[in-house]
Chain A
Amino acid sequence: MSDLMLVLLAVSILAGGITVAGVLVWWERRLLGFWQDRLGPNRIGPFGIGQLGADIIKLLFKDDWVPPFADRFVFVLAPTAIIASMMMGFAIVPFAPGVHIVDLNIGLLFFLGMSGLAVYSVLLGGLASNNKYALLGGLRSASQMVSYEVFMGLSLMGVVMITGSFSLVDIVEAQEEVWFCFSQILGLFVFVIAGIAESHRLPFDLPEAEHELTAGFHTEYGGMKFAMFMLGEYLGLALISCMIVTLFFGGWMGPSIFGDWVPPFVWFSVKVIFVINFFILLRAAIPRPRYDQLMDLGWKVMLPITLVNLAITGAILLWMREVV
């Protein structure tokens, strides 16, 4: 791809990502409404899509206030970290054959690193607010991220073992015959759960946990700074969905029975939308666990499953190599 095309792609991903995150806010509210026998926001514009614009106007016109007791520099800096790291994560996602910004040979590690950096946003936001609820939210998110990142990375190693590469393009191409969601079902299971915890969405939104911590780490935030946290959260949701589709559901490739008349990007989008809706369904259906239950689940259930998956995958690969 030429440099101009790359710049265009980067800009369109930037604009598209933010638009998608904005639309997701409306879509999630609408879908949650339907699942709770309500209608959700349907007043402004067709199907209520104008709610997006109304929300932006509201947030833009809010007083941009920094509490006098907060650490001003870090307080303002914190919301940008989540957006920056999430947008960086999109750089390695292959949307269609040849349509990606970079094909890093350490693509997967880059993604894990970027999602790891996003925790700084929550952590610094919680610390800089100088508020006990925010601090507790920040503390929780730090320990949640640290423990869930361990097996988030490990759960992907099965995929890497089969492919023999960290590059996402290679991983998608390795799923030509069978998607990894069949051979790596345990890895998928763990990665989905770790992904929710990583983007701290319900049921794992303990850093926010409005029933006990008012709003957790963003208690003191308002206006556009709050909007940036929300944007980051929805970008994270979109990124995790993209990664699940890329790593486990064959990326841009559709099932072979449909032939190749459907463009690869359409396949990719359909799958991503499906996964996002699944995440919203999880939010609607599953209650939030207690904090110690969250940690128990992480270290006593998820980590063993990951290790078993890793051992089995390695053993089968070794056995197959001997047979061949």
Chain B
Amino acid sequence: MLSMLRTMWEIFIHLFRKAETVQYPEEMPYLAPRYRGRIVLTRDPDGEERCVACNLCAAACPVDCIALQKDAREDGTWYPEFFRINFSRCIMCGLCEEACPTYAIQLTPDFEMCEYDRQNMVYEKEHLLINGVGKYPDYNFYRVSGIQTATKDKGEAINESAPIDTKSLMP
């Protein structure tokens, strides 16, 4: 009985507390930079697409909402011919971002993606690609990886040693 009276008093005191409510459309809540919202495809500092169409994001996606097709440029680098994310399926889990070896696919702090037509939730590459580097401004995959391209030979990447001649016994 006494505990009930105490409960009632404690609840009543809450009348004078500030409400926790964020009045959303007028008052935007703070979203951290690493908030998992709308997915984008970023570009490297030179303005080229980062995505190398490795398909790891599509493989990691638990709801299979990513579809893409590999194509190769003349210099040997890969890029996606099409890249499609069905946002009506996407659960914003961020596993694609974790799987991506080139920091191409990134999640952004934007969740306002309502559509009247469900078909409009399917984003193509032109909708996903942004003119920016996203969260990793200096990263350029082809500069740091050992992949051989038309413009860069083995051992020429940043922080990469020259290839070892495995046939030689010299140190």
Query: Is the Cβ of A36 less than 8 Å from the Cβ of B4?
Result: no
**How far, in angstroms, from A285 to B13 measured CA to CA in the complex?**
11
**Which B4-33 residues have a C-beta within 8 angstroms of A?**
4, 7-8, 10-12, 14-15, 17-21, 23
Looking at chain B, what size class is its interface with the partner chain? 10 to 19
Mark interface residues in A20-60 (1 if CB within 8 Å of B CB, else 0): 00000000000001111111000000000000000000000
Query: Is the Cβ of A285 less than 8 Å from the Cβ of B11?
Result: yes
Query: Is the Cβ of A38 less than 8 Å from the Cβ of B15?
Result: no
Q: Is A286 on the interface with B (CB-CB < 8 A)?
A: yes
Mark interface residues in A283-297 (1 if CB within 8 Å of B CB, else 0): 011100000000000
Q: Is A282 on the interface with B (CB-CB < 8 A)?
A: yes
Q: Which residues on B sit within 8 Å (CB–CB) of A35?
A: 11-12, 14-15
A286's partner among B7, B14, B19 (CB-CB below 8 A) is B7
Residue from A35, A36, A285 having most chain B Cβ neighbours under 10 A = A285
Q: Is A114 on the interface with B (CB-CB < 8 A)?
A: no
Q: Which residues on B sit within 8 Å (CB–CB) of A284?
A: 11
**How far, in angstroms, from A35 to B13 measured CA to CA in the complex?**
8
Query: Is the Cβ of A281 less than 8 Å from the Cβ of B11?
Result: yes
Query: Is the Cβ of B8 less than 8 Å from the Cβ of A39?
Result: no
**How far, in angstroms, from A36 to B13 measured CA to CA in the complex?**
10
Q: Which residues on A sit within 8 Å (CB–CB) of B7?
A: 285-286
Query: Is the Cβ of B12 less than 8 Å from the Cβ of A281?
Result: yes
Query: Is the Cβ of A38 less than 8 Å from the Cβ of B11?
Result: no
Q: Who on chain A is nearest to B5 by CB?
A: A285
Query: Is the Cβ of A38 less than 8 Å from the Cβ of B8?
Result: no
Looking at chain A, what size class is its interface with the partner chain? 10 to 19
Q: Which residues on A sit within 8 Å (CB–CB) of B10?
A: 285
Per DSSP, are chain A's interface residues mostly helix, strand or loop, or mixed?
helix
Answer whether A38 and B4 are a contact pair too, CB < 8 Å, given A281-B11, A281-B12.
Answer: no
Query: Is the Cβ of B4 less than 8 Å from the Cβ of A285?
Result: yes
Expressed in whole angstroms, the minimum distance between the Cβ of A273 and any Cβ of chain B is: 15
**How far, in angstroms, from A39 to B17 measured CA to CA in the complex?**
11
Answer whether A36 and B14 are a contact pair too, CB < 8 Å, given A281-B8, A285-B4, A285-B7.
Answer: yes
Expressed in whole angstroms, the minimum distance between the Cβ of A216 and any Cβ of chain B is: 24
Query: Is the Cβ of A38 less than 8 Å from the Cβ of B20?
Result: yes
Answer whether A37 and B14 are a contact pair too, CB < 8 Å, given A285-B8, A286-B8.
Answer: yes
Query: Is the Cβ of A34 less than 8 Å from the Cβ of B8?
Result: no
Query: Is the Cβ of A34 less than 8 Å from the Cβ of B15?
Result: yes
**How far, in angstroms, from A116 to B1 measured CA to CA in the complex?**
28
**How far, in angstroms, from A222 to B92 measured CA to CA in the complex?**
36
Query: Is the Cβ of A39 less than 8 Å from the Cβ of B11?
Result: no
**How far, in angstroms, from A284 to B11 measured CA to CA in the complex?**
7
Q: Who on chain A is nearest to B16 by CB?
A: A34
Query: Is the Cβ of B11 less than 8 Å from the Cβ of A34?
Result: no
Expressed in whole angstroms, the minimum distance between the Cβ of B52 and any Cβ of chain A is: 48
**Which A266-284 residues have a C-beta within 8 angstroms of B?**
281-282, 284
Expressed in whole angstroms, the minimum distance between the Cβ of A279 and any Cβ of chain B is: 11
Expressed in whole angstroms, the minimum distance between the Cβ of B18 and any Cβ of chain A is: 8
Q: Who on chain B is nearest to A42 by CB?
A: B23
Q: Which residues on A sit within 8 Å (CB–CB) of B12?
A: 35, 281, 285
**How far, in angstroms, from A180 to B23 measured CA to CA in the complex?**
46
Query: Is the Cβ of A34 less than 8 Å from the Cβ of B14?
Result: yes
Mark interface residues in A277-319 (1 if CB within 8 Å of B CB, else 0): 0000110111000000000000000000000000000000000
Q: Who on chain B is nearest to A283 by CB?
A: B11
Q: Who on chain A is nearest to B12 by CB?
A: A281
Q: Which residues on A sit within 8 Å (CB–CB) of B8?
A: 281-282, 285-286
**How far, in angstroms, from A286 to B5 measured CA to CA in the complex?**
9
Chain B positions within 8 Å of A, measured between CB atoms, are 4, 7-8, 10-12, 14-15, 17-21, 23
Closest 6 CB pairs of A and B: A285-B11, A285-B8, A39-B21, A285-B7, A39-B19, A37-B20
Chain A positions within 8 Å of B, measured between CB atoms, are 33-39, 281-282, 284-286
User: What are 8 A-B contacts defined by CB distance under 8 Å?
Assistant: A34-B19, A39-B19, A39-B21, A281-B11, A284-B11, A285-B4, A285-B11, A285-B12
Known: A35-B12, A38-B20, A39-B19. 5 other contacts (CB 8 A): A34-B14, A34-B19, A35-B11, A35-B14, A37-B17
